């Protein structure tokens, strides 16, 4: 695929319409259209933007939080579905690539998932968070290697990670080793953590892996605080959204004030990344070859149905297993030939 060396990217900082799928999808489509009007060709929205994150899990007992889990489950996104159709239509109408975080509902389980749309509105793929962080383990299942990959686009090789995955060494290293050039760093607005975590991890990623980073983080607004009923523990704002230069970690756009909604745009120039390849290409000539990663890209399923193989005999085909001559019989035939 031919790569554009220069293009406009957008990072969206906004709050979801908390635990309301339909209203948040409307808001997401409006934000995508607004970013496209600003000239953005690649647009990123925050972690689990539809319909928001499980703040209660960090502050309530399991049974107290179950009522919120049910609301989250009912307002989560199946892939594909009417929700993904609407998001795809918006991407196609605006002729943009879109990456958005959702709570993905797959049968009876939820996953923290990024969806990657191309400019034709098609789903290129998804990334499920490999390990939910802390109390999130009570809400989301784990991803596997089958959704951990990069996508070839007109804007370079595109990948993404979610929130605490940026504190792990190997997810980022493996995406970089796959050739990632543009990275989506999707974060949820922090209920209590310091947003310096977002900044440090995102800027380090741009430096360590020579990738442009589109950092998008949601806002904790009063609606979330009121809905969960934790005015003493949840902090308003707590977002740090930016666009970061490859190799240097320099901020190209942003950050916005942590409680403010908005759209950040910056021109990304892939040519400017190349000068840093000479210094520290950590998955190439600057990779210490004593350390190698074994990556399992298999999709892990709870049920694998194995078709019973066919048995082949001299008289014809029957059900059963394939009849394989024993080593002794074949050896004997070889000896007879000699």
Active site residues: 47, 129, 163
Q: How far apart are the first and last CA of the chain?
A: 57
- Alpha-carbon span 61 to 234, nearest angstrom: 16
Nearest to 215 by CA among 186, 194, 179, 195: 186
Residue 207 has which token pair? 């430096």
- Alpha-carbon span 172 to 160, nearest angstrom: 9
Strands across the sheet containing 262-269: 123-128, 109-117, 97-106, 42-44, 6-13, 262-269
- Alpha-carbon span 309 to 318, nearest angstrom: 10
- Beta strands 310-313 and 262-269 are unpaired
Residue 151 has which token pair? 């996508």
Residues paired with 117 in a beta bridge = 98, 123
Residue 132 has which token pair? 């939910």
Cβ distance 101 to 49 under 8 Å?
yes
């Amino acid at each position: 695929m031919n790569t554009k060396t220069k293009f406009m990217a957008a990072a969206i900082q906004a709050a979801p319409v908390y635990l309301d799928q339909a209203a948040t999808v409307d808001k997401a489509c409006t934000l995508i259209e607004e970013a496209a009007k600003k000239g953005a060709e690649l647009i990123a929205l925050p972690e689990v933007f539809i319909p928001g994150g499980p703040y209660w899990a960090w502050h309530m007992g399991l049974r107290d939080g179950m009522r919120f889990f049910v609301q989250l489950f009912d307002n989560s996104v199946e892939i594909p579905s009417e929700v993904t159709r609407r998001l795809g239509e918006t991407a196609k109408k605006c002729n943009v690539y879109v990456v958005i975080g959702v709570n993905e509902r797959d049968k009876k389980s939820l996953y923290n998932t990024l969806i990657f749309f191309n400019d034709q509105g098609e789903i290129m793929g998804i990334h499920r968070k490999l390990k939910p962080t802390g109390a999130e383990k009570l809400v989301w299942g784990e991803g596997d290697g089958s959704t951990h990959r990069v996508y070839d686009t007109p804007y370079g090789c595109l990948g993404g990670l979610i929130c605490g995955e940026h504190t792990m060494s190997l997810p980022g290293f493996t995406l970089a080793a796959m050739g990632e050039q543009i990275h989506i760093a999707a974060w949820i607005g922090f209920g209590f953590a310091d947003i310096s975590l977002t900044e440090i991890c995102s800027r380090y990623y741009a430096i360590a892996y020579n990738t442009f980073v589109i950092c998008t983080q949601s806002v904790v607004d009063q609606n979330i605080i009121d809905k969960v009923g934790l005015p003493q523990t949840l902090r308003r704002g707590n977002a740090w959204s930016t666009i970061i230069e490859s190799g240097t970690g320099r901020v190209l756009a942003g950050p916005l004030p942590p409680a403010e909604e908005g759209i950040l745009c910056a021109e990304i120039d892939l040519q400017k990344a190349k000068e840093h390849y000479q210094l520290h290409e950590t998955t190439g000539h600057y990779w210490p070859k004593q350390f190698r990663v074994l990556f399992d890209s298999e999709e892990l399923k709870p049920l694998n149905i194995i078709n019973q193989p066919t048995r082949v005999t001299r008289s014809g085909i029957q059900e059963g297993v394939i009849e394989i001559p024993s080593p002794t019989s074949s050896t004997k035939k070889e000896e007879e030939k000699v």
